[in-house]
Amino acid sequence: MRELRRMMEMWNGDAVVGRHGSRSGRRPPASGLLSLAVMAIMVGGTARPAHGQANDGTGAIQGSPVLRSDGGLTAQVGLGETLPPPESEARPAIQEDVGEYDDARPYTLERAVAISLRNNRRLAVSQYDLDMANKQVSEAYGALFPEIDGFASLQRNLELPSAFLPKIFVDPDADPDDLIAVTFGADNQWNAGLALTQPLFDAGVFVGVGTAGSFRNLAREALRGSAQGVATTTRIAYLNVLLAQEAVRVTQNSIERVRQTLEETRALNRAGLTSDYDVLRLEVQLANIEPNLRRAQNEVAEARRVLAIEMGLGETASAAAFGELHQIDLSQGAENSEDNVALLAFAGVPEAATAEYEQLEVVALSNRTDLQQARLQRDLEQARVRYERTQLFPTVSGFFNWGLQAQENGALNFYGENPDQRFTTSAVGVQLDVPIFSGARRWNRVEQRKIGVRQAEERIGDLRQRAAHEVETVLSDLTESRSRAEAQRQAVSQAQRGFDIVTTEYLAGTQPRLEVTAAELALRQAEQNYALAIYDYLVAQAQLDLAVGVVPAVDPVVEAMIEGDIRPEDRVDPDAAGDPISNDDREGDR
C-alpha cells in the first residue's frame, strides 16, 4: 500500500489523509507528467504499480478505461481483426493464481466492522479498563460498610518467661533489695479475637464514591472512543483492499491490452506497414508489465491480511472486500451496484457533502469522544479536589473489640480444659480523629488538584478549536474529492474517445505510435485519478464520521458492552461469520 500510494501521490500530489484529514504535496504540471511518462514508456522502463485498484475477478473488459501498472493510462479497446502471430512469437498465459489472493473470504463493509467491534484486541483492552473502573466503584462503596477483622493464635512456650520481683513478696524477712525470679504463664497459650470498625462520619468516604463514579464514566467514554477508532480503522483498511484489488484488475487489463496491441503491430509488421523497432518496443513493454501482476496481487494479499487483523480473525487469516471503485458513480446513488450502494450507504453523516459546516460543528462539539473524555476528566479532577478537602475534616468511627485468651500446661487441649483456664474481654467505643498539623501537605494536595482542573479546562478549549478545524478540513476534503470524482468521470469518457480516434488514425497510417502512447497515458491518468477520487471520498466520509463523533454501528455495541451483554471473551467465530465463497459470488456474506 505504501508504494502504491507513493506512486499515486507523485502523479496527483494528494496523500491519503490520516485521521485528522491532513493532506500534503503539490500537483505537478500535467505537461511534465505527460513528458516523463512518455519517456519512461519509450525507454521501456517500469514503475511500481499504482497500488490500490480493485480486482473484479473477470479479467479485461473491452471498451473500459483502466489504469496500467507500468505507470501510464490506457484503454481496453478493439484494434480490429488481427492475424495470429507465429507460434515462435506466442507468449505464455498470465499466471493469476496466487493462493491467498483467490482463497480469501469476502465480507461486506458492515459485516467487517461488526466483526471488528467484537474481536479487535485493542477494543478488548478498553473493555477491561471499564471492568476495572466498575470494580473501583464497588471498592469505594465498600468503605461505607463496617470493617470486621478476626484473628487467632497458638503459642507453645519452650521455656516459660520469667520476671524479677522483690524477694520480700515471698519472704517477709528478706532484704528489701533482694530479687527473685518468678515464672509466668503456661506451656500453651491461645488468643482469639474480633474487631469491628464502622465509619460514622468520614467525608472522604462519601466523596470517594462520587470520584469513583466519575472515573467509571470516563472509562465508558474511553470505550466508546476506542470502538469508534476501531470501526474507522476497519473502514479504511476495507477501502485499502478495494484500492489494491483495483490495481490487480488494472494490471490484468493492461497486460491483455498490450498483448493485443503487440499482435496488431506484428501483423502490420509482417505486412510491411510498421518497423521492427515498433514490435521490439512493445515486446519490452509487455515484458516489463507482466511481473507487476504478481506484485499487485501480493499488495492485495497484504491489504487483506491487515483487514483481517483489524477484524481479529487470527494470525494467518485473510479477508477480501466487496465493491469496485471504478464502477462507483457518486451522482447515481442507489442506481449503483448492490455492493457499491452498501459502500456509499455505510455512513454516520448521510449526504455529508451537502451538509452545512455550522451544523456539523455543533454535532462535533457535543458528540466527539475526545471532547467528552476531556470534560469527564475535568469532572474527575473536580471530584479529586473535593476529596482532598475532606482530608482536612475530622473523622468519627465506632468500634467493638472482643477477645479470648487461654493457658494450659502439658497437653494441647485447645482453649483449656475448663473455664478456669480461659477468659474473655470485650469493649465498645467511639473514636475521633482530628487532623491538626501536617506541614501544609494537605493544603498543597488540594492546590495540586485545583491546578489539574485548570489544565483540564485548557485541554477542553484546545480540543474545541482542533475539532472545529478538523471538521472544516475533512468536510473540505470530502467536497473536493466528490467534485474531483465528477470531473474525472467526464475526463475518462473524453480520454477514451481521444484514444479511440488516435488508435484509428494510427492503424490508418496517419498518426505515429508516439501519439497513441500519449493518448494511452492521458486515458490511464484519467482512470487513475477517478479511482483515487472515489477512494479519497470514501476515506473522507469515514474520517468525517469520526470527526463529528457519529460512527455507524458503534453505539449499540458499546451499550451492550457497558451492560455486560458483550464480553471480550465472547469473540465471533470466523467460521461462523460468513460462508466460504469465491470472489465471484456476491451473495454469501449478505
pLDDT digit string (tens) for 46-102? 333 333 333 333 333 333 333 333 333 333 333 333 333 333 333 333 334 433 455
C-alpha cell at 449: 488538584
Amino acid 537 reads Y
Is the residue at 530 inside a domain? yes
User: Between these two residues, 581 and 403, which has the higher pLDDT value?
Assistant: 403
| Total domains in the fold of the chain | 1
pLDDT, position 83: 33
- The rounded distance, in Å, linking the Cα atoms of 462 and 276 is 68
Q: What is the pLDDT of residues 228-242, one digit of tens each?
A: 999 999 999 999 999
pLDDT, position 102: 57
pLDDT, position 318: 87
Q: What is the pLDDT of residues 278-320, one digit of tens each?
A: 888 888 888 988 898 889 899 999 999 999 999 988 777 889 9
- The rounded distance, in Å, linking the Cα atoms of 519 and 503 is 9
- The rounded distance, in Å, linking the Cα atoms of 250 and 324 is 12
Mean pLDDT (whole number) for 401-411: 84
- Percentage of residues in the chain having pLDDT higher than 70: 78
- The rounded distance, in Å, linking the Cα atoms of 243 and 303 is 9
Cβ atoms of residues 187 and 410 within 8 Å: yes
φ, ψ dihedrals at 39, nearest 5°? -60, -40
Asked which of 85-94, 265-274, 372-381 is least confident by mean pLDDT, the reply is 85-94
Amino acid 442 reads R
pLDDT, position 465: 94
Domain that holds residue 551: 2-132+212-377+464-577
Cβ atoms of residues 164 and 182 within 8 Å: yes
pLDDT, position 403: 93
Is the residue at 177 inside a domain? no
The label of the residue with cell 490484468 reads 252
Is the residue at 303 inside a domain? yes
* Nearest alpha carbon to residue 100 among 233, 232, 241: 241
pLDDT band at 550 (very low <50, low <70, confident <90, very high): very high
Is the residue at 502 inside a domain? yes
CB atoms within 10 A of CB 151: 10
User: Between these two residues, 498 and 408, which has the higher pLDDT value?
Assistant: 498
Q: What is the pLDDT of residues 332-348, one digit of tens each?
A: 878 889 999 999 999 88
pLDDT, position 575: 59
DSSP-derived pairing of the beta strands 147-156 and 188-201: antiparallel
Is the residue at 203 inside a domain? no
Global confidence as pTM: 0.71
Cβ atoms of residues 503 and 519 within 8 Å: yes
pLDDT band at 500 (very low <50, low <70, confident <90, very high): confident
Mean pLDDT (whole number) for 474-478: 92
Torsion on CA atoms 415, 417, 421, 424, rounded to nearest 10: 50
pLDDT band at 570 (very low <50, low <70, confident <90, very high): confident
pLDDT, position 259: 86
Domain of 27, CATH number, reads 1.20.1600.10
> Which residues sit opposite 425 in a β-bridge?
403
What mean pLDDT value characterizes the chain? Answer: 77
